[in-house]
Amino acid sequence: MAVRPVPVGPSKRPGLHYPLGDGTDPGTWEVLDTLLTHLRHSARPES
């Protein structure tokens, strides 16, 4: 993935922020789609 998450929040309950831009670049939608596909595949339980 070209987009790298930035850790946010307290260490006991961390979160990740994926900086995608300020919304002015139409190409950001493609990056968001790629990121969502990646996250959905990572969240699938292994069988």
* DSSP label of 40: H
Q: pLDDT (tens digit, 9 = 90+) per residue, 1-47?
A: 678 899 999 999 999 999 998 889 998 999 999 999 998 998 777 65
pTM of this prediction? Answer: 0.66
Q: What is the pLDDT of residue 1?
A: 61
Contacts of residue 23, Cβ cutoff 8 Å, sequence gap at least 6: none
